[in-house]
Amino acid sequence: MNTVAMPPLSGPVHHDDIIPARAPWDRIVRKGQTLRIIDLEGNQAVDFLMYRHGDDAERYSAQDTMAAQGNIFLREGSVLLSNEGNPMARVTATAVAYHDTIGGACSCESNTLRYGFHTKAQHACVENFLFANSHHGLGKRDLVSNINWFMNVPVEADGALGIVDGISAPGLFVDLRAEMDIVAVISNCPQINNPCNGFNPTAVRVLIVGEA
């Protein structure tokens, strides 16, 4: 069990939102502010994308981020880079050992491959991303490899990988400090066919704190 305490955040609390299970969420986070995500009930995957506010063709790049740090896991200290190599946010603190950025977002379409055609009508993260992005003039072609906070995707020596049982727990958190003004988009993952949500999607809490 990880014992990292949630550090105090200074400055005004601009938003303190509960994202219901299975729901999308989107807000603007200003440079210098902290976005805190709390896994209220434990092992709830929080699918996350971000775009540069005002020039949203620049967006989070999992590949640039992993290449720059030489490691596939996101940990405290990881700098989240854009597709043009600019720091968008920094993981300033987290109580979870590592987070995922290779597993992508579940979709109705990929669910048909992974689990069978009977899952086509189930809600999925891509549905949430498309809906949340529509508030910002963004669409399907703006979806790229995302971050999955609180999700565990190990890679074995032979390349085998998969979404396996989580390493988060109730009340664990991740803090991101924005390094530019960003549009932050979340899908509170509705997946029920793998252990990313402990087979039980739950609510998460999200705060935006600090002087812009």
Partner 1 sequence: MVQADPPASNTADPKSAREHARAMGHLRVEAMPTVPAADAAQRPDGVPADAMLWEETIPGGGYAAKELHRGARLRLWDLHGDACAAMLVFNAERPVERLNIADTVKVQWNAYLGPGSMLLSDMGRVLMSVLEDTAATHDTFCGASNARTNAARYGSGDNFGPHPNARDRFLLATAKFGLGRRDIHPCVNWFKGNRIGADGSMSLELGPYAPGRFLTLRADMNVIVVLANCPHPRDPRPEYCVSALRASAWRGPVAPADDPVRNASPEARRAFLNVDEYFQR
- Quote the DSSP letter at residue 130: H
Tell me: does residue 96 bind partner 1 (CB under 8 A). Answer: no
C-alpha–C-alpha distance, residues 206 and 99, integer Å: 17
Nearer to partner 1, 12 or 116 (CB): 116
70 binds partner 1 (CB under 8 A): yes
- Scanning 3-11, 133-141, 164-172, 183-191 for contacts with partner 1 by CB under 8 A, the matching segment is 133-141
Please state the closest distance from residue 175 (CB atom) to partner 1, in A.
20
* Backbone angles phi and psi of 17, in degrees to 5: -110, 140
Are the beta carbons of 75 and 158 closer than 8 angstroms? Answer: no
Give min distance, CB of 37 to partner 1, in A: 20
Check if the beta carbon of residue 108 is closer than 8 Å to that of residue 121: yes
- Strand (E) or helix (H) holding 117: none
Q: Which of 49, 72, 41, 207 is nearest to 125 (CA)?
A: 49
| Binding-site string for partner 1 from residue 140 to residue 159, where x marks contact by CB under 8 A and - marks none | xxxxxxx------xxxxxxx
The footprint of partner 1 (CB under 8 A) covers 56-57, 59, 61-64, 66-68, 70-73, 83-86, 98, 102-105, 107, 109-114, 116-117, 126, 139-146, 153-163
